[in-house]
Structure 1
Amino acid sequence: MGHNHSHGNHHEVQGKNLLFSIILNLVITVAQVIGGLISGSLALLSDALHNFSDVLSLVFSYVAHKLSQKEASINQTFGYKRAELIAAFVNAMTLIIVAFFLIYEAIERFFNIHTIASDLVIWLSLLGIIVNGLSVIMLKNDADKNLNMKSAYLHLFTDMLASVAVLIGGLLMKFFQWYWVDSVLTLLIAIYLLFVGFDLLKKSTQMLMLFTPSHIDIKEIITEVHTIPGIEKLHHIHVWYLNEDELHLEAHLECQEDIKMTEFNEILQKIEHVLFEKFQINHINIQPEYKKEETSKDFIVQD
């Protein structure tokens, strides 16, 4: 059986940036809750609720990040590498739940408009923009390489946008007394949360379910591998992400001749090169076969 490990796409994320963002968001959450209750602003309270969900999500992401770095053991042969995918999934669900709650509150408040202390809304929204903006900058690089960090980044980025919207609303309420803007902004924030939440939920679910990545074409893999001399057929193929750094392929390989293991190793090396260079597959597990009875005719088989 051939087995290859390559980590050409590995990216070391900075957990300390996430920890700092947790502290910053905890401070802004407390400030916005107090300010929202004093001012009567639903948009400010919704932003605070969103921030609080972010604090919980960021803590979850941080714990998952630390778990993912633990070494594998006899009982956990993959370690905790998929913990970050679970964190991304849960974070996506919290975004969606918060969004539906905000939609309900915004609609109810729209028909019961309240006078709002706009000055407090303005100053706290500015504080939210600064704090979340700083957190977004710190996590941007990691978010491009890691789905868990992207989930944390999206939480913070939507917070920053929400704070910008709340600031605009505060200014409109201060100078024009348009208090209905508070409900409209809350609704817009919620709709945006649904958009990013469902996208993140879809990606994390696909990885957790071990679906073939969207950029991978199994038929193209077969075509490429079958050009290598000595190969009869590649079948029982599975391709999946263990985490975002590790793209796995396992398959059975029917050889044309009853070859020695040293000859198979040469074939395997060529397969590893093709799959890594053309498809970025860095973990390959191949089971060699020769005229095995009841060999499946299908490329994809439910084992």
Structure 2
Amino acid sequence: MHTESVAQWQHTHVFDQDKVRSGEKRSLVVIIITALMMVVEIAAGLLFGSMALFADGIHMGSHMVGLGITFGAYIYARRRARSQLFSFGTGKVNALAGYSSALFLIVIALYMGYESILRFINPVKIEYNQAILVAVIGLVVNGISMVILGEHGHTHGHEEEHEHQHEEEHGHPHEEEHGHHAHYHGADHNLKAAYLHVLTDAMTSVLAIVALLGAKYLKLTWMDPLMGVVGAILVVRWSIGLIRVTFKVLLDYQIPIEVQRKIVTSLESYKDTRVSDLHIWSIGPGIYSSAIGVVTKYPESPDTYKALIPKDTGVVHATMEVHMCMD
């Protein structure tokens, strides 16, 4: 009964999540490079007595695990993309991986800080020339990895948005976000997490080089553990920024106000249509699902109103409620 009619309204919720993403291939290459350099830096740090270099190696090792989370998330999302168990596909696996990687980074940063403080208390002899050489090599490797991952994975690690809310008569939320733009909306949070791992590696390599040079030529031996503490603080700060952004995606935080307004304006430009309810949330990098209610004296098919949603807003799934105004 109604088999043919029902079929024309049915659709998948894959949204291209079953395809191999460029970030998957790039993260695998970076994992291999990172693994090789990790072994070299840890061994050199222990051999030459440099806490900054050892911390850099441990940090790089932790990032290999973090990058493994990134790579694993890509594979999981792709292989489970067609599973009916996921209401809107596997796009949020991306944000979950980014969130998990950021938490892991904080744990590693705390360990770095702890080890550096211990080195303040119990300093050891450092083989400067060898340690500096390995640190420079580590920096070069991190630079190569950053290029491989691509600059669009870049993140400052802080949440660049300010907001306040107020309700208008229509009943749908109008949240104003101004100041800085929210760079993370519609982004590949998984790739950003991978880039953040490599970026912090590069940063600790720079700090290690500065500390070693200061200790060697200026006899400032305290710089080695100090740079370890500074590096740990920066890693925590960047990680918290990524956590805030991915946390919002996981909790179905509304998309930016300018996109909401664009959709509302388009809908309300049609005859006497007024938007009564508006919910739009991220279901993957750059794609959104929506539940929208409209009120009109002359109701038409839901498809009529769905067609009014601008294509460039990234809304790939829309549920439309059409209410007849009796006034």
The answer to whether TM tops 0.5 is yes
What CA distance in whole angstroms lies between the structure 1 residues aligned with 2:20 and 2:280?
21
Displacement of 1:33:
1.4
What CA distance in whole angstroms lies between the structure 1 residues aligned with 2:120 and 2:299?
76
- 2:119 matched to 1:81? no
Residue by residue over 1:241-276, the C-alpha shift from the partner in whole angstroms, topping out at 9 and shown as x without a partner, is 1111212221222232254x3xx533432x223xx3
Residue by residue over 1:9-33, the C-alpha shift from the partner in whole angstroms, topping out at 9 and shown as x without a partner, is x994242221111011111111111
What CA distance in whole angstroms lies between the structure 2 residues aligned with 1:98 and 1:133?
21
8 Å CA contact retained: 2:105, 2:236: yes
In structure 2, the partner of 1:272 is 309
In structure 2, the partner of 1:175 is 217
8 Å CA contact retained: 1:14, 1:142: no
Displacement of 1:196:
0.9
Of 121, 130, 148, 2:131 maps to 121
Displacement of 1:191:
1.4
What CA distance in whole angstroms lies between the structure 2 residues aligned with 1:47 and 1:27?
13
Residue by residue over 1:24-58, the C-alpha shift from the partner in whole angstroms, topping out at 9 and shown as x without a partner, is 11111111111111222211121112111100010
Please report the TM-score for the alignment, with normalisation by the length of structure 1: 0.83
Displacement of 1:291:
5.3
SS in 2 for 1:252: strand
Equivalent residue runs for 1:185-200 within 5 Å: 185-200=227-242
Displacement of 1:115:
2.0
Displacement of 1:173:
2.4
What CA distance in whole angstroms lies between the structure 2 residues aligned with 1:204 and 1:103?
25
Shift in alpha-carbon separation, 1:58–1:51, aligned structure 2, 3 A: same
In structure 2, the partner of 1:296 is none
Displacement of 1:171:
2.2
Shift in alpha-carbon separation, 1:3–1:250, aligned structure 2, 3 A: farther
Equivalent residue runs for 1:202-221 within 5 Å: 202-216=244-258, 218=260, 221=263
Higher relative CO (CA 8 A, sep ≥ 6), structure 1 or 2?
1
Shift in alpha-carbon separation, 1:14–1:102, aligned structure 2, 3 A: closer
Which of 20-29 and 79-88 deviates more?
A: 79-88
What amino acid is aligned across from residue 137 of structure 1 in structure 2?
Answer: V
In structure 2, the partner of 1:23 is 32
Which of 84-93 and 240-249 deviates more?
A: 240-249
8 Å CA contact retained: 1:166, 1:182: yes
In structure 1, the partner of 2:293 is 252
Which of 207-216 and 55-64 deviates more?
A: 207-216
In structure 2, the partner of 1:288 is 322
In structure 1, the partner of 2:157 is none
8 Å CA contact retained: 1:230, 1:267: no
RMSD value, Cα: 2.9
Figure out how many residues of one structure are paired with residues of the other and give that number. 283
What amino acid is aligned across from residue 19 of structure 1 in structure 2?
Answer: L
Equivalent residue runs for 1:82-101 within 5 Å: 82-101=92-111
What amino acid is aligned across from residue 135 of structure 1 in structure 2?
Answer: S
In structure 2, the partner of 1:238 is 279
8 Å CA contact retained: 1:252, 1:289: yes
Residue by residue over 1:105-157, the C-alpha shift from the partner in whole angstroms, topping out at 9 and shown as x without a partner, is 22332233222111221121012112111110000245165211011011101
Of 103, 116, 119, 1:106 maps to 116
In structure 2, the partner of 1:149 is 191
Which of 109-118 and 157-166 deviates more?
A: 109-118
8 Å CA contact retained: 1:253, 1:288: yes
Please report the TM-score for the alignment, with normalisation by the length of structure 2: 0.77
Report the identity percentage: 22
What amino acid is aligned across from residue 132 of structure 1 in structure 2?
Answer: N
Unaligned runs of 5+ in 1: 293-303
SS in 1 for 2:291: strand
What amino acid is aligned across from residue 280 of structure 2 in structure 1?
Answer: V
SS in 2 for 1:242: strand
Displacement of 1:67:
2.2
In structure 2, the partner of 1:299 is none
What CA distance in whole angstroms lies between the structure 1 residues aligned with 2:190 and 2:215?
37
What CA distance in whole angstroms lies between the structure 2 residues aligned with 1:74 and 1:100?
40
Shift in alpha-carbon separation, 1:177–1:59, aligned structure 2, 3 A: same
SS in 2 for 1:80: coil
